[in-house]
Amino acid sequence: MVKKVICALDTGELDEAIAITKRLGNVVGAFKIGHSLTLQHGLDVVSRLQDAGANRIFLDLKFHDIPNSVALAVREATRRGVWMMTVHISGGPAMMTAAVAEARDTDGIPPLLVGVSVLTSLDQHVLTDHLGVQRSIPEHMAYLSQLAIDCDLDGVVCSPQEVKEIRKQIGSQGVIVTPGIRVQNIAVDEDDQRRTGSPSEALSDGADYLVIGRALINSEHPEWTLEEFGLVGAPN
């Protein structure tokens, strides 16, 4: 098992998600679920996947609302025993602080809260010309990442291209979760991620977890795919 790898269950079909979980449960360290599964099946999908062998669930719903609403959402997710969940850093300090308070108000192990700053689908043109942010993407993400850590979030999400800058900014204070992982000789269907990179670069720059989806799900031999990614034998 490669614990650093989180498999993205990018499907709305519960039966398919369960089948993937059973097939990859001993291969990867966690499974990421998002709106496509939870909007159809509710948060009960968490327990269904846990029963299928998902020891750790990364609930990627990117909560972004007023502090009380986000706190209530985090409370419900925490009750389901998720391992990790996302909130938007741009929701502000009060929202993040409320989320942290709810996540840690549990008798069990509190989930990891990780902050999202600039989505991997955005590039500099969109950030500056459409959203009005004058910082470069790495500068903006480093600033927001430090804000997240200052508000006691457990870590942040970023593409491989920003890992080094963010790790330099936050030091060892938080985990870094990195989607957009690509390897040159492993093809994936066209997607909307603009900022991508290799697993070796992401890990050497300071990433803690790598999110990989279709390259694993579509592989007949996922263990071989992880070897091609250079992840078999990597420190867990």
Report, as residue numbers or ranges, the catalytic residues: 62
User: What's the token pair of residue 54?
Assistant: 């998902």
Amino acid at 103: A
Three-state secondary structure call for residue 135: coil
d(CA 189, CA 192): 10
Identify any residues that bridge with 197 across adjacent strands, giving them in sequence order: 181
User: What's the token pair of residue 144?
Assistant: 């927001």
Question: Quick check: 36 and 11 in contact, CB under 8 A?
Answer: yes
Identify any residues that bridge with 56 across adjacent strands, giving them in sequence order: none
* Residue ranges in the chain assigned as alpha helix (H): 14-24, 35-41, 44-51, 67-79, 93-104, 124-125, 137-150, 163-170, 199-205, 214-217, 222-228
Termini Cα distance of the chain: 9
CA 3 to chain centre: 14
